[in-house]
């Protein structure tokens, strides 16, 4: 599997809710693309959209909910929630070497 290097940004929000993220390092990951949805109200005239995807990273990678990951091309995505699957398979009891996080574009 071909991975790409992603820069991780982590930090709290200021009192106005604006993220104050600092460079936290890099991780190797693979995106599995979902769909793109408009983020404007129905009948709105905006040109805003959000793309959701799964981000697969090696087990044990230091990612948390609300982290931002930035691709080399400048696209930034926000980690939504915790890891989606991080326990042995229920039938085979094998443990995967990869885990998935849900991400949305920011």
pLDDT value for 94? 85
With tokens 């793309």, the residue in question is 51
CB 48 within 8 A of CB 39: yes
pLDDT value for 104? 87
The pLDDT-based confidence of 9 (bands split at 50, 70, 90) is very high
Q: Any idea what DSSP says for residue 41?
A: P
- Element housing 82 (H / E): none
pLDDT value for 24? 93
Tell me: pLDDT of 25 over 90. yes
Question: Is 71 exposed, middle or buried (CB count within 10 Å of its CB: 0-12, 13-18, 19+)?
Answer: middle
Give the whole-number percent of the chain exceeding pLDDT 70: 87
Q: How far apart are CA 62 and CA 75, in angstroms?
A: 20
pLDDT value for 65? 92
Please write the tens of the pLDDT for every residue from 32-64. Answer: 987 777 766 666 666 667 777 999 999 989 999
Strand partners, 53: 33, 103
pLDDT value for 103? 92
């Amino acid at each position: 599997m071909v991975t790409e290097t992603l820069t991780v940004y982590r930090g709290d929000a200021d009192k106005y809710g604006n993220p104050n993220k600092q460079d936290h390092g890099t991780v190797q990951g693979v995106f599995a693309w979902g769909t793109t949805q408009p983020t404007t109200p129905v009948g709105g005239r905006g040109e805003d959209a959000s793309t959701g995807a799964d981000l697969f990273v090696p087990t044990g990678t230091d990612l948390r909910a609300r982290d931002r990951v930035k691709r080399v091309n400048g696209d930034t995505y926000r980690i939504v929630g915790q890891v989606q699957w991080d326990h042995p398979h229920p039938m085979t009891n094998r443990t995967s070497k990869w885990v998935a996080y849900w991400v949305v574009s920011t």
